[in-house]
Amino acid sequence: MLNKKIGKQTIKFLEAPKIISANAIVGPKEGEGPLAQHFDTILDDDLFGLKSWEKAESKMIEETVKAAASKIKLSIKDIDYFFAGDLLNQLMSSTFAARDLQIPYIGLFGACSTLTESLSLSAMMIDGGYGDYAVAATSSHFSTAERQFRFPLELGNQRPLTSQWTVTGAGAAILSNKGKGPSIAYATIGKVIDFGIFDANNMGAAMAPAAVDTIKTHFSDTGLSPSDYDLIITGDLGVIGMDIAKDLLMKEGINVSHNFSDCGVKIFDHEKQDTHAGGSGCGCSAVVFCGYLYTELIEKKIKNLLLVSTGALLSPTSIQQGESIPSIAHAVAIRSS
């Protein structure tokens, strides 16, 4: 048997599945942010012309998958697997998109870590030879997340300074061993880490230790070091979480002073857009990767990327019952072709 697993938690892909296409759709607010030019579609209406935000989120996933496929003239029927997830109960957005797309579907819940979770599993399917094409897609929507996890939109409350802004957006990446594109070299599957943070408005601090654990394990499993990557980017730690993660990594002797960033920090201009600690949500790392980072990889501005999507696995019930916030991070190492 070929040993594809190295170390404790890392998979080394022998065939290195390629990401042959990617597409990102974002909402109006994201379209006013610093990365606007990199997104394929910017909606001017966050309802997407539909009756509910949930419908809009579902349509965003569907449209982004279709757009990713049409970029490489791939028929939806030829895709073997659809790995998707979002933040809503029972994965409403992904499931309803899968109902319309009719691609064999595996729904995933990893909170905001779903992008790297779906990329890892898609890569395993392709590397294992179980199919030719797999699509990994995730989404989130500010208004659907607010009503499920927080308060009604029109409520006149103040958002704490540590709170983050859920990204309205969906991203899809198509993986295959045919065609051209950046390839996935490694995937490090994270463990659930809980350092006892109870504040659901401070998810950056809750998720930072999970990101650190996965990054540390990735380096010890692969024998690589931070200097082997042009960019190590976390999913949605935000300004506070990123700062904490950086300090924790430095404490562990992992020097990331030059090449460390966070999708939640990149997506918004926090001063002008009033997003407080930064962006969050499954859509955050999805649109930043499928829109911005994918293009950078294609243009070889970034040659080696470590994408570490981070997820806070809380639920409104767990918070009300006084549980702390369990967090997870999965890392995917991507090389430009």
Note the residues at the interface with other proteins (CB under 8 A).
Answer: 51-52, 147, 151-162, 193-197, 202, 205, 209, 240, 243-244, 247, 324
Residue 152 CB, nearest approach to other proteins (Å): 4
Instruction: Kindly tell me which of 168 and 176 has the beta carbon lying closer to other proteins.
Output: 168
Nearest by Cα to 148 from 59, 61, 58, 87:
87
Instruction: Kindly tell me which of 156 and 223 has the beta carbon lying closer to other proteins.
Output: 156
Nearest by Cα to 281 from 233, 235, 317:
235
Residue 149 CB, nearest approach to other proteins (Å): 13
Amino acid at position 252, single letter: E
Instruction: Kindly tell me which of 185 and 242 has the beta carbon lying closer to other proteins.
Output: 242
- What residues contact 2, with CB distance under 8 A and at least 6 apart? 14
What are the φ/ψ torsions at residue 218 (nearest 5 degrees)? -60, -45
Give the torsion sign (CA, 293, 299, 302, 307): positive
Residue 79 CB, nearest approach to other proteins (Å): 31
Residue 208 CB, nearest approach to other proteins (Å): 8
Instruction: Kindly tell me which of 44 and 154 has the beta carbon lying closer to other proteins.
Output: 154
Residue 88 CB, nearest approach to other proteins (Å): 14
Residue 141 CB, nearest approach to other proteins (Å): 14
CA distances from 263 to 62, 167, 183, 251, 327 (A): 23, 11, 20, 23, 17
Instruction: Kindly tell me which of 182 and 326 has the beta carbon lying closer to other proteins.
Output: 326
Residue 119 CB, nearest approach to other proteins (Å): 27
CA distances from 269 to 35, 169, 272 (A): 9, 16, 6
First to last CA, the chain: 27
Nearest by Cα to 325 from 240, 215, 207:
207
CA distance 208 to 109: 19
Give the torsion sign (CA, 235, 238, 244, 247): positive
- The pair of three-digit structure tokens given for residue 329, joined into one six-digit string: 């991070």
Instruction: Kindly tell me which of 123 and 244 has the beta carbon lying closer to other proteins.
Output: 244
Instruction: Kindly tell me which of 41 and 324 has the beta carbon lying closer to other proteins.
Output: 324
